Structures are given as structure tokens and as C-alpha cells.
Structure 1
Amino acid sequence: MWGEESPRNGRRGHEVVSSIAGGSSEVVVLDDAVIEAAARAQPGVTNINVTKSTGLHIGPKFVSVTQNVDNTEVVKDLPLPRYLWDIAKSTTKAERLSCAAALIVLVVCVLLIVYFTVIAKRTVDSVVDIAPHEWYITREMWLAPEFFNGARTQKFDPLRLVIIAHTVSPECTLFVNCAAELRNMQGYFRKTYNYDLPYNFLIGNEGRVYEGRGWNVVGAHSLSYNRCSLGIGFIGDYREGLPQYSKVNEKQLERAKMLLDLGVRVGYLHPNYHVLGAKDLVSSESPGTNLYRAIQNWTHYDHYNHYQNKNCEEILEYFQNKTSTVGSTAIKNNTVNNGQD
């Protein structure tokens, strides 16, 4: 049954709902304003997550929910071996083989690093440097192949000029390494230039003297001066401007002086010999910065350029004339002194 309230009451229309149940009746009057206020009071739902439910009652409505459930096993707080085992089970055979190969390569690399940084270094440090002679190594001692060279320096003996150079080759700090380096250099010069080592003697980085062409043999180290000079090559590269360069040590300098003293004793070097760097006579950077600086402090270093712009014959004549002049002056002074007596 529906009815209306008189307009004179100043109220809006209302709806009357009548329900009959079990022979009795009940009338509920719903005001429009009440309904609107109730609707506004309901919370708005924009997103909702539902777990384990087939139906959901939201406000005045029943909402049917369809749920898809994925049964997944969550690995959480597992021991590392179990975790790795589960991962291994989920991979293919090819993937497992690739991982095993990568692991083997990693282990090999680590072992090589350990070997070369620790074990090999200890092995090198523990090697005893044994040589056939304390400091003077002949060609036979470093196993030099025979190579005939008939040119001799006899015309200019005893030699007055010693030229110091460097080999610009790898360093060597053990006799066995230096001997091998000399054979390598000799093979290079024989193959490229068809002659033996260009130096008369070489000085190893460990301080030993190695016989190259030897005494009284013309070298091939300084053009225009080879016939009248003794060439000594220090093994290494002594140019300080390089990222890595050789540093001359006291033992090398000491042994070089011992060699020169020996040359004077056996008569191949003049007692008043002079020492020069290769760069003093020819266009070259040899013997390198720090080696050149070291030889300039030697007593026999030529600070007066006696040999520059002279060939071997001119050098010989120059010193013969100088000797004659000195001798004549000495005789003249002696005569004057005798006359005064």
C-alpha cells in the first residue's frame, strides 16, 4: 500500500514499503534523505585482494569472486647447499656443464695466479747463481758458437779509446740467463748482418763481464772508430725517459773498471786511455741517460773531446805528435836544468 503526505507539511515525498509475512504486516517508511545519507556513509572500495573465498559481501550487494590459485614453493631461509642443489635441479644438463666448465677455468686461473706470485717467486729467489768464473766469462763459458773474424786492432795497439754503449735488450740477473741472452743477440746479428756480436765485451746486470769479440779484435759498435777502440756494451736499455728502463748498479761499474785495468796490464789498453759514450762520437742515444751520467764520473772519461771528428789514423797521428811534443819539451827542460847545474 502506497500513500502520500500532504504537501502542506513541507516535506519531500516518501516511500512506504509493506511486507506481509505469516499473516502479519509491517510497514517501513524510508525517507529519501535517509537513503542518500546512508549511501554516502558507505566506504568506497577501489581495490581488494581476496584469499580463499568464493563469494564476497560488499555493502548491500553480493559479489561473485573467481580466484585462480597457483601452488608455488617459496624457498626461504634454506641452507646454502640445499639452495644450490635446488637451483641445480631446476637447470638443464647443458647449463650444468657450462657452469662446471666456468668453475674449472676460475679455479685454474686462481692457481696460476698463486703459483706465479708466490711459488715461482720463491723458486727464483732460492736459485743459486753459479757461474764458471767469479766475474770474467769467456766465449767458451757462455757457449758461444764459433764465428771467424780476422780483423785485428794491432796497428793501433795499445788502444787509447774505450767506447761505452748499451745493448737495448732484455736484462739478465743470473749467469744462465745472461748466457742465453748473449746467444740470442749473437744469433740476431749473424742472421741480420752476417757478423758476430758487435761489442768486444758485455756487462751483465748481475755484474759479470762476458767476452764478446774479445781483445785485439775490431768491433762493430761505432762507425769510423771500430778499428781503434774497445767497445763495451752494458746489457739492457738505460734511457730514463722510457716507462721501464735499466738502472746501472755499482757492481756493473766496478767490474767494467776491473776489465779496463786488466786491459792495461796485458798491454791492449794504453795506461792513459780515455772513456767516451757512443753518443759522444756518433749520432746515438747510447749508452742511455743514467749509464752515461755514471761514466762521466770516471777518472779516464774524456772531458776534452780529443777524439771527436777524427778517424783512427788521425787519432793515432794526434797522439804521436802530442807524445813527441811532450817528449821534446821534457828533453829541453832537462837540458836547461843541466846547464844551470
Structure 2
Amino acid sequence: MWTERDNGNDAIACNGPGTANPVVLMDDRILAAASSSMAASTPQVSNLNVNKSSRVHIGPKFVSVTQNVQNAEMIKELSLPKYLWDVVKNSSRTERLSCAAALMVLITCITLIIYFTVQTTKSADLFVDKPPHEWRITREMWLAQPYNNSLIVDSFNPLMLVVVQHTVSSPCSKFVICAAQLRNMQHYFIGTYNYDIPYNFLIGNDGRVYEGRGWNIEGAHTFGYNRCSVGIGFIGDYREEMPNHSRVTEAQMNRTLMLLAEGVQSGYLRDDFLVVGAKDLRDTASPGSILYNAIRKLPNYDRKNRFSNLTCEQMRDAFGNSSLIN
């Protein structure tokens, strides 16, 4: 029991009867001081950085730590090889095998495409165009269908007029391509209009002459003049205003002159025959500005346009017994 004089004492140690250890008695002031001392000695943690751990031992407790990672910022800081390696490293074995299989398929496809492209190019380079004749290709040579065409009336022979047109089709620079194009053209006209290929002769972009209906056969190229003229069609589109127009070559013009000379020698053309473009006789753009300018340079071009608006009979009566020399 404490008395008034005992208030100055902080603690009293006493040993009771039978007590092995001393007993320390403390009042409220001593307990408060002790608590303050313990609180002061405990470290205060405001910020804690933790790497590679989700639980931290602080004092007598385990503290759970939530770690927030800014993925976007981390990706930006990585280079592409490191990023790809990180993706591969963090993927499963199944995902890696799937990606490897897809990559192998892609490489195989690209290799096959390159291989066949190279082989096709080599085949095209090795291809040799071997026509059955140097420049004069008959109907039998380009495998034309047989067709019964009308002959030119004897009263108009030999012919005084050659009409030049263009086919307004794709150009052809090799015999096999030109021959195939003529077969397609003939098939179209027979199936659509029930008549043979309309031109008497065609000039390929390869510089060869292809027989259409041939000499002494009435054509179907220029309405009103088919019975008394020879129609020559240049394969291609010779309108200069068109983006993919054809060009007239020297070989084409030389072979055309050779064909006309053949006609004169065989008696199918008058030696003073005249050449015109289809636009000189009818309201049409044929044979195109490029080809039209080329035939205007020929010595036999009709600069007087004397056959316009005439029938075959009128042409025969007007010029049958007179010279057509310009």
C-alpha cells in the first residue's frame, strides 16, 4: 500500500514470501512514458519499393504489397528484338510451336511464288516464235474455220480501192498470239453476226500479214464499199487519245506494201489503186489517228477523197476507164 511519501518513487521492488523473482510495480506515468519510448523507437515507413516479391516482412507482421506495372511505358523502352524475345520467352510451348509452323508455311509459300515466277520468266525468254512463213500467214496456218464467202463480182475486178481500218483489239507481237486472236475474232463474228472475219487481210503487230477472207472475196468491213474494195485491218487500237494505243511500225508498213504489190501482180488490184482510211468514206474514227497519219504518207493515198458518197457502180462508171493517178 502506498502512502503520500511514496508518490515520488517511480517503482517499488519487493519480494513476497515464497517469491523467486522480484516484482516491479509501476504507476500510470511510468507506463505512459514506456509506451512513448517504444513508439519513438519504431521506424516510420512512408514509401516502400519492392521488387520481385508480393509479401514483405515488416516487424512482426507480413504485409501484402500490390505492384502496379505500366506495360505501355515498358514496351516503349524496349527495342524490337528485345520485345520479340520477351514475347517468345513469356509464351507457352504450344504458342511457340504454332507460330513456328505458321512461319514455315509463310516461308514455303513465298519460296514457291518466287520459284514459279522465275521459271515462268525463263520459259518466256526461251520461247521462240516460229511462224510457218516469214511474213505471209494463210488461213490454214492460223487454223481458221472453213466458211463459204461470196466472190467479188467480175465487173469490179481488178479493184481500184483499198480501205484501211483497225480492229480496236489487243495488240499481238508473236505469231501464236496473233493466230489465237484471229481465231477468237472469227468465232465472235460467226457466232454473233453469222459471217466470217470481216477483213480481207490483217496486219499483226509482229509485222506479218494474216489472210482473212483473202483476195477476190467480198468483205464486211465498210458498209457500201465491201463489193468493190479490199479491206485491210491493222490489229490493235490506233487512237492516240487512248491510254494503251498501238504504234505503227516500219515492219507493218513494209509488209502492207508487199501485200499490195502482190495484189497488183496477181491481177486483183489495179496498178493505180488508191488507199483510204475508213473515216474517209464513213462516219467513224477508224483507223485511228496514228494509223491514219501513217497511210496518208503512202504514195497511193487518195488525197482528193474522190470515192466518198459513191456506190460501187458509180465508182466503176466514173473511174473504170480513167486513170486514178493523183
Residue 21 of structure 1: CA displacement?
7.3
Tell me which amino acid in the other structure corresponds to 1:221. H
Alignment match, 1:39? none
1:112 corresponds to 2:113 = yes
Residue 139 of structure 1: CA displacement?
0.8
Tell me which amino acid in the other structure corresponds to 1:240. E
Tell me which amino acid in the other structure corresponds to 1:140. E
Cα distance in 2 for residues equivalent to 1:19 and 1:89: 76
Residue 234 of structure 1: CA displacement?
0.9
Q: Secondary structure at the match of 2:119?
A: helix
Q: Secondary structure at the match of 1:122?
A: helix
Residue 129 of structure 1: CA displacement?
1.2
Alignment map for 1:134-153 (pairs within 5 Å): 134-153=134-153
Q: Which runs of 5+ in 2 are unaligned?
A: 1-7, 14-25, 30-43, 69-77
1:55 corresponds to 2:58 = yes
Alignment match, 2:217? 217
Number of residue-to-residue matches in the alignment:
279
Q: Higher mean Cα deviation, 247-256 or 83-92?
A: 83-92
Q: Secondary structure at the match of 1:91?
A: helix
Alignment match, 1:311? 311
1:65 corresponds to 2:69 = no
1:129 corresponds to 2:129 = yes
Tell me which amino acid in the other structure corresponds to 2:112. L
Confirm or deny: 8 A CA contact 1:275 1:301 kept in the other structure: yes
Residue 323 of structure 1: CA displacement?
4.7
- Residues 149-177 of structure 1: CA distance to partner in whole angstroms, max 9, x if unpaired? 13324321111111111112222222122
Q: Secondary structure at the match of 1:232?
A: strand
Cα distance in 2 for residues equivalent to 1:238 and 1:193: 24
Q: Secondary structure at the match of 2:190?
A: helix
Cα distance in 2 for residues equivalent to 1:243 and 1:104: 41
Alignment match, 2:196? 196
Cα distance in 2 for residues equivalent to 1:102 and 1:296: 63
Alignment map for 1:152-301 (pairs within 5 Å): 152-301=152-301
Confirm or deny: 8 A CA contact 1:163 1:232 kept in the other structure: yes
Residue 81 of structure 1: CA displacement?
9.2
- Residues 217-252 of structure 1: CA distance to partner in whole angstroms, max 9, x if unpaired? 000000001111100111111222222122221111
Kindly tell me: are residues 88 and 249 of structure 1, through their superposed partners in 2, closer, same or farther at Cα, counting changes over 3 Å? farther
Q: Secondary structure at the match of 1:267?
A: coil
Q: Secondary structure at the match of 2:164?
A: strand
Residue 314 of structure 1: CA displacement?
1.0
Kindly tell me: are residues 181 and 69 of structure 1, through their superposed partners in 2, closer, same or farther at Cα, counting changes over 3 Å? same
Kindly tell me: are residues 225 and 101 of structure 1, through their superposed partners in 2, closer, same or farther at Cα, counting changes over 3 Å? farther
Confirm or deny: 8 A CA contact 1:153 1:217 kept in the other structure: no
Q: Secondary structure at the match of 1:160?
A: strand
Kindly tell me: are residues 48 and 126 of structure 1, through their superposed partners in 2, closer, same or farther at Cα, counting changes over 3 Å? same
- Residues 83-115 of structure 1: CA distance to partner in whole angstroms, max 9, x if unpaired? 75874625298xx39x84686366435633563
Kindly tell me: are residues 241 and 68 of structure 1, through their superposed partners in 2, closer, same or farther at Cα, counting changes over 3 Å? same
Kindly tell me: are residues 260 and 321 of structure 1, through their superposed partners in 2, closer, same or farther at Cα, counting changes over 3 Å? closer
Q: Which runs of 5+ in 1 are unaligned?
A: 1-17, 28-42, 57-61, 71-75, 327-341
Alignment match, 2:95? 91
Kindly tell me: are residues 184 and 303 of structure 1, through their superposed partners in 2, closer, same or farther at Cα, counting changes over 3 Å? same
Cα distance in 1 for residues equivalent to 2:281 and 2:45: 102
Let me know the Cα RMSD of the aligned residues.
3.8
Confirm or deny: 8 A CA contact 1:54 1:67 kept in the other structure: no
Cα distance in 2 for residues equivalent to 1:126 and 1:80: 46
Cα distance in 1 for residues equivalent to 2:96 and 2:111: 27
- Residues 92-143 of structure 1: CA distance to partner in whole angstroms, max 9, x if unpaired? 98xx39x846863664356335633x43233222211111111111111111
Tell me which amino acid in the other structure corresponds to 1:232. I
Residue 199 of structure 1: CA displacement?
0.2
Cα distance in 2 for residues equivalent to 1:242 and 1:21: 118
Tell me which amino acid in the other structure corresponds to 2:236. G
Tell me which amino acid in the other structure corresponds to 2:157. D
Cα distance in 1 for residues equivalent to 2:128 and 2:155: 44
Q: Secondary structure at the match of 1:231?
A: strand
Residue 179 of structure 1: CA displacement?
1.3
